[in-house]
Homo-oligomer: A and B are copies of this chain.
Amino acid sequence: MSGSATQTVYEQLRVSLLAGRYLPEAKLKISELGSAFSVSTGAVREALARLTAEGLVTAMPQRGFRVAPVSVADLRDLAEMRIEIETKCLRRAIASGDLAWEAAVVAAHHRLAVTPIAAADGGFSPAWIVAHGEFHAALAQACDSAWMLRVRDLLFAHNERYLDLARKTDRGNRDAAREHRELMEAALARDTDRAVAAIAAHIGKTRDTIESALRRAEMDELG
């Protein structure tokens, strides 16, 4: 293992959460997770405490932990906030990004472009999710405000939870690759307005797609 037990559990649990491997509001039993990861309950509790502070998990006093809920309202609010922050980040990144930044963006985009998007189970492939996250992170990274980046990361993480819900209705009818390319090109050309418009549109479209998927899922549940 790389680091400590707690760290490992935290990271693994986090990617599982972000990959939607647990259902929203599902109970996270401490001893189960402990034996699954072969660590003590203390390590699990510590990891869950951190995830609670991030909002990915909710703690119910004396009643354990659950996966944070999702809702259309939260998704819309989140997307709106993301547009605010991501556009600001992007503006500043374009303004102060150097050659190293450009190179990192190109590299991340290349990895994203060549990574197959579909996984065996019909969702996004884990490799694509990682590449996608890293591309957007690379774009924002040159923003010269640590706090802005921090908030961006928080929002992006929560968005990832919703992302794989979209996969079902997203089959083929949307060209995310094209949006990413457009975004990269505008950023590298230092065309701030075009880049900002591209990322805002990208977030908006993603939101809409996820929202339909969410509504469909709710329908299925009730009917």
Which residues of A come within 8 Å of B, CB atoms?
A: 3-4, 6-7, 42, 45-47, 49-55, 61-62, 74, 77-78, 80-81, 84, 88, 145-148, 150-151, 154-155
Contact = CB atoms under 8 A, between A and B. Distances in A.
Contacts of A148: 77, 81
Given A50-B50, A77-B145, A77-B148, 14 more contacts: A3-B61, A45-B46, A46-B49, A47-B49, A51-B53, A53-B53, A74-B146, A77-B146, A77-B147, A78-B147, A81-B145, A81-B147, A84-B88, A151-B151
Nearest to A79: B147
Number of identical monomers bound together in the oligomeric complex: 2
Contacts of A4: 61-62
A4 B52 CA distance: 16
Contacts of A42: 42, 45
